[in-house]
Every structure is written in structure tokens, then in C-alpha cells.
Amino acid sequence: MHKATITCALTGVLTDPKQHPVPVTAKQMADSAYEAFNAGASIMHCHFRKQEDGLGHLPTWEPDVCAEIVQAIRDKCKGVVINLTTGVMGDDISGPVACLDRIKPEMAALNAGSLNYLKLKSNNTWAWPPLLFDNPVSKIEGFTEAMKRNGTVPECECFDTGILRSVVMFERAGLIPSPPHVSLIMGVASGMPAKPEWLPLLVAEMSPGTHWQTIAIGRQEVWAVHRKTAELGGDLRSGVEDTFYLPNGEKATGNGQLIEAMAKLAREVGREIATPADVRVMLDGYKKQHERPKKSA
């Protein structure tokens, strides 16, 4: 079985750094990435926060801020692969596109379909006003155009089975490269549950040769999903964007502990850990494959 690539999701969208161990500043992001890098993560999935005092829980798309943070990570973690977030609600994608053009990451998340983003409290009232995370095809096309001109490999994020099946259609229609990179997002209350028994069925819906990983959201129950992913040959991701909890139920102090646990899990099921050089060989081969003109039917 091929080596397991481990991604660290460094910080996430809105988690409050006053309450949880999420990095915000360029130094904090680089230091946290370095811990994860040394533990076995070859890819850093990056969200960015406002740098002003008291605003570190809010996202930013300021290209200078984002570029400073990414450069700090690259300087600290030699050879690391950057995977940029692009998730925004609404039609205006100018912020993430500006960051793609400025940073030119090796990979970037491509939210591959829309989702009613819902959660209930224990008393069955809404945890927040119901949201639509809207990702119509026109928006996806805008992102794929930006990724193509920057040499960025799209990572198709799939919150439910219909979105995963849409990725196959996008691939056949030529909207995304083939075979695609897919992330199965499991554990969002209104999306796919974090249940390992779902994984064989989901993998069966993918195109042959698809590169895939799981993004499991939750507490220590997510580790059963990670183990099944490793057993099935998928790639792995963890970090304080996805969970704060280690397999034994203890709360992690940061990204390094989570990635250490992930690397240990991968080795337990017989997987070696991919290095940044391994990942770059894979990505370079992928890009070269799609630079070749397709043969006419």
C-alpha cells in the first residue's frame, strides 16, 4: 500500500483563540506547523485570521497578511506543501482568488457543492441561524480557473454523497482534472456522519485512481474513521480545525499532538508516512499528466 500523506489543518475558520489552542499570528502559525511537520505532516491546510488585537477569531483574505503567514510556514518547514482554504459564502470570490494569485499554493480546497449548514442545541433549537454554504457550478468554475493559472491542484471537499457523485460528473465534463483529489468531510451535523462503515461505500463511488482523504469533525470518535481510512489506503488529516481530542479522549494542547497520534495510527496499520518530497513527486506527476493534450476520441 502506498505511503500515507498526512495533512495538518492548522487553525480553521472561526474558533476563538481565547478559548482553544488555535494559532493566529505568523509566528504562531509557523511554530504550530513546525510541530506538526516534525510529527509527520507534509501538507499544511491554511486558514487565515485577522491580526489586530481582539480580532483573531475572525477570518481575513488580505493577501499581504496571508502571504506573510505562508512565507513564515515555508521558512520554518522546509519543503512543506501548502493547501489553501478558499471557502466563502456568496458569489464574491475575489478574496480567496487574490490569495491564490499571491501565494500560488501547491494545493487548494475546492468546495464541490452546496450544503445547508445546520446544527441543533440539546433543546432542539438552532445552534446558529440556518446557513446555506452555497457552491454552485459557476462559483466552482471561477475557482478552478484561478487554480489552473496558478498551478494549484484542486482538492474537492465533499460534505455529502451527492457532492461526491457530482465530483465524478465534474471530472467527466472536464471541469476538474482526472483523476481528482477528494476529501470526504464527515461529522458535520447536516452532512455525512463520522461513521467508518460508510467509507467502503463512498470509495466505491469514486473514479478509479482518485486520491482521497477523510476530514473527520468531532471528538475522539473521529479516530475510528481515521483508522478505517488508513486501512483502506486513504490519506489522513487532523488538526485543531477538525478536533481538539486525542484517541484516548484527552484534549490536545495543539497540532503537534494530533499529528503524532495520526502518524502512530498509520504505522499501526502498516502504512509508512509520506515525506514532503514524496508528496511533491506525486503532485508533479499529476500536473504533468494534465499538461499533456488529451487524445481525441
Q: What is the pLDDT of residue 254?
A: 95
What's the mean pLDDT in 16-45? Answer: 94
pLDDT digits (tens, 9 = 90+) for 15-28: 888 888 899 999 99
Q: What is the pLDDT of residue 229?
A: 98
Q: Which of 297, 296, 234 is nearest to 265 (CA)?
A: 234
Confidence of residue 55 (pLDDT cuts 50, 70, 90): confident
Higher pLDDT, 193 or 16: 193
Residue 227 sits at the vertex; the CA angle it makes with 249 and 81, to the nearest 5 degrees, is 95
CATH classification for the domain delimited by 6-291, as one of 3.20.20.70, 1.10.3720.10, 3.30.930.10, 3.90.180.10: 3.20.20.70
| 153 DSSP β-pair partners | 107
String of b and e for 256-287 (b: at least 16 CB within 10 Å)?
A: bbbbbbbbebbeebebebbebeebbebbeeee
pLDDT digits (tens, 9 = 90+) for 199-208: 999 999 999 9
Percent of the chain residues past pLDDT 90, beyond the cut:
87
β-pair type (131-133, 115-117): antiparallel
Q: Where are the domains of the chain?
A: 6-291
pLDDT at 295 over 60: no
Report phi then psi at 175, rounded to 5: -75, -35
What's the mean pLDDT in 31-43? Answer: 98
**Cell output for 90:** 456568496
Global confidence as pTM: 0.94
